[in-house]
Amino acid sequence: MLDIKILRENRKLVEEALAKRGSSLPLKNFYEKDEQRLDLLRKVEDLKHKRNMISKDIGVKKAQSEDASVLLQEVKSIGLEIDEYHKTLGVLEEELNSFVLTIPNIPHSSVVYGRTSEDNPVVKTWGQKKEFSFTPYVHDELALSLDIIDFEKGAKIATSGFSLSRGPGALLERALINFFLDVHTKEQGYTEVCIPFMVNGASMTGTGQLPKFKEDLFKIEGEDLYLIPTSEVPVTNIHAQEILEKASLPRYYTAYSPCFRKEAGSYGKDTKGLIRQHQFNKVEIVKLVEPQSSYDELESLLLDAEVLLQRLGLHYRVVNLCSGDLGFSAAKTYDIEVWLPGQNEYREISSCSNFEDFQARRAGIKYRPSKGEKPAFVHTLNGSGLAVGRTIVAILENYQQDDQSVVIPDALRPYMNGVTLLKPVQK
RNA sequence: GGAGAGGUGGCCGAGAGGCUGAAGGCAACCGCCUGCUAAGCGGUUUUCGUCGAAAGGCGAACGUGAGUUCGAAUCUCACCCUCUCCGCCA
């Protein structure tokens, strides 16, 4: 959520930001209503002040058993007036609030103008594309040959868009989760948290999934509960409605969770394989930091995610999302795109964002800059470290051999119970 | 699921229609005092909104929302949450 004061005082900035994102919102309407609201508010507060004064007098008179009937008359009519204004004010406030919740964040100055993912500038590259003496297979074919992932069973148990992993495949999943968490907690200073996989509507609003992206969430029928689309939601909301000690910042958290997404807007995209599923595992890293350091923290958060791919020996590039590709809540996002030789393209495997105070304002996460000073909003950041399903895709496609066997990367071996090679299974 | 108790400031805890943003204590901070420390004495310390250049003024907040009343932390209703006991259960 944007600061309503910035909206008021810096209309041009907001309009330019919206235009850069390629979205337009009826701001004119907002300004008119906001003015009306302030007008009414002042009136109501004046009247309340009057009423408070007279009420006090009534109390005094009654205590001295004097006649207060004149004052009672007067205050009663003030009350009626307040009621009337109050009603309109309530309606206005609700309209304005729900509108402000639908305005996206203002892109950071380092975000370039662009319309689609085609326009995202590449900011760095690590490693290089692996050469194969044969035409590399796509991961879903490999997974079938290795018998480690079963899409049909997933569809049978749930519906299409779900899968299950089996044997060394399930082990690989668990190994990656542990490897990621170990690096984050032992080497990078993150505190591991094990969080609820469902959250309430307030939490979803806090991080920006609601109200705009309802159609992408799985909701529990009859409850104010949603399956989380990423552990960013429960983790960022750990400190919702709190004022944190400055000394406790920055706070680094990491969490594993399954993620549930309807992918409502992506029907027909990536229908085969593990790339786009309704449920996938992910390890997330989250930071709550002081505003002045948040862009440095974004760079280091990005590195914390990159290291994982480097250890796994997977070639990737990093892109800086252009204005048109930027997510609703983010001010700046780096996507890490891993090379997939089977598909012959780069695919997003991690998304690292600085939300500045956008989420903090929605969720009410503050800190005290110094003694006696007013509380200020923290900046929140998060990134995948990493998406497990897509990492499996990358390992299968990059470490495949001509007989369709797949070599387990060295970094994962300590977690693989002695398994060093996945072999095709005769059926 | 059944029965009961309860939700007040950073924490503990009083208040049971008006002078209560809230006694008292703890904690923190600032003075004073004191070989050091501790103790003691005096003072300060919630948040949001609004007006203001600022000082400050005003409005709001005692789980949430609605109601009664001139006036609600205090009365009424609904909801949420926490705890205890019983049942069930990983």
Range among A17-26, A88-97, A168-177 with highest mean pLDDT value: A168-177
CA atom of A196 to C1′ atom of B5, Å = 28
For residue A405, give both structure tokens: 């066997």
Is the per-residue pLDDT at A371 higher than 80?
Answer: no
Q: Regarding the domain with residue range A26-100, which homologous superfamily does it belong to in the CATH classification?
A: Serine-tRNA synthetase, tRNA binding domain (1.10.287.40)
Ranges in chain A annotated CATH 3.30.930.10 = 117-422
pLDDT (mean) for A350-361 = 97
For residue A382, give both structure tokens: 């998060």
Chain A residues 367 to 386 with C-beta below 7 Å from nucleic strand B? 368, 371, 374-375
Contact assessment for residue A107 and residue A331, using Cβ atoms and an 8 Å cutoff: yes
pLDDT (mean) for A303-319 = 98
pLDDT (mean) for A162-188 = 97
Neighbour-count burial for A53-69, b at 16+ CB within 10 Å, e otherwise: ebeeebeebeeeeeebe
A231 closest CA partner among A262, A260, A210, A200: A260
| Angstrom distance (rounded) from CA A98 to CA A211 | 8
Q: What is the pLDDT of residues A216-258, one digit of tens each?
A: 999 988 888 999 999 999 999 999 999 998 888 999 999 999 9
CATH fold group of domain A117-422:
BirA Bifunctional Protein; domain 2 (3.30.930)
Neighbour-count burial for A266-289, b at 16+ CB within 10 Å, e otherwise: eeeeeeebbbbbbbbbbbbbbbbb
CA atom of A52 to C1′ atom of B24, Å = 29
Q: Quick one: pLDDT at residue A295?
A: 98
Q: What is the pLDDT of residues A50-108, one digit of tens each?
A: 999 999 888 888 877 778 788 888 888 898 899 889 889 989 999 999 999 999 999 99
Average pLDDT, chain A: 93
Q: How much of chain A exceeds pLDDT 70, in percent? A: 99
Q: Quick one: pLDDT at residue A264?
A: 77
Tokens 């402000």, residue located:
A100
Q: Quick one: pLDDT at residue A368?
A: 87
- The ipTM value here is 0.89
Q: Which residue has the higher pLDDT, A273 or A125?
A: A125
Ranges in chain A annotated CATH 1.10.287.40 = 26-100
Contact between the CB of A243 and strand B at under 7 Å? yes
